[in-house]
Structure 1
Amino acid sequence: MCFYNQKRFSCGDWSWTNFAHRCNYEYRTGETCGMKLVNMTENDSSKCRLCEKIETKFRRRSAEVDRLERWKREGANLVASIDRSHKLIMDLDKEIFVLQRERETRRNTLVR
């Protein structure tokens, strides 16, 4: 059981930061036992990497939906572009779903 500092983001996610100190159970020089315990938690006002990625994908999806609605409203005859836009929106929805699932899995891990 070796102690590490932890960073907690504003979104509730966390990450390990630097090594704090070694436990007494590891006798090999320079080695850690492999079990991580929290030494100190640092609160960070920023969002985690996953939340930033999800927000970026939502912004891109919103821009694509706006573009698609404008093309439909203007009666554009860009059928290939409209089809590509539909596919891009569906792809973004899938990517957002995967990232949200990854975020929930990470939040539900043992260490808090």
Structure 2
Amino acid sequence: MCFFDQQRFVCGDWKWGHFRQHCHKEYRIGETCGMKLIMHTVPVGQKCKLCEKIDTKKRRRAAEVERINRWQREGSKFRASIDKSMEIIRSLDYEIQELECERGRRLQGIGTQMRS
């Protein structure tokens, strides 16, 4: 039960920080016992990498939707471009869904790890 800092992001996600203290079970220098406990929680003023990726894909999706709306207002001469943007939106929707599922799995992992 060695002690580490925990970095907590604005979105609620977290990651392990620096090693802080050995427990009484581990006597080898430079080694940890494998059981991590939190010594200090350090708030980080930004979102985690996963949430940043989700936000980026959502912004790109919104830009594609805006392009489609603009092209549709101008008439039917951009049909191929609209079809291509629709495919990009479908792809982005799938990627966003996958990333949000991954984020949900990580957040569930926080609850089980903090109860242990």
In the TM superposition, what whole-angstrom CA distance separates every residue of 1:25-81 from its partner, at most 9, and x where no partner exists? 123332111111111001122111111111111110000000011111111423222
1:80, 1:18 → 2: CA distance?
52
- Corresponding residue for 1:44? 44
| TM-score when normalising by structure 2 | 0.89
Gaps of 5+ in 2: none
Which structure has greater helix proportion? Answer: 2
- Corresponding residue for 2:113? 111
1:102, 1:22 → 2: CA distance?
32
Q: Residues 38-77 of structure 1 correspond to what in structure 2 (within 5 A)? A: 38-77=38-77
- Corresponding residue for 1:94? 94
**Runs of 4 or more consecutive aligned structure 1 residues displaced over 2 Å after TM superposition:** none
Gaps of 5+ in 1: none
Q: Report the aligned-residue RMSD.
A: 1.3
- Corresponding residue for 2:20? 20
Give the count of matched residue pairs. Answer: 112
Q: Give 2:17's aligned amino acid.
A: T
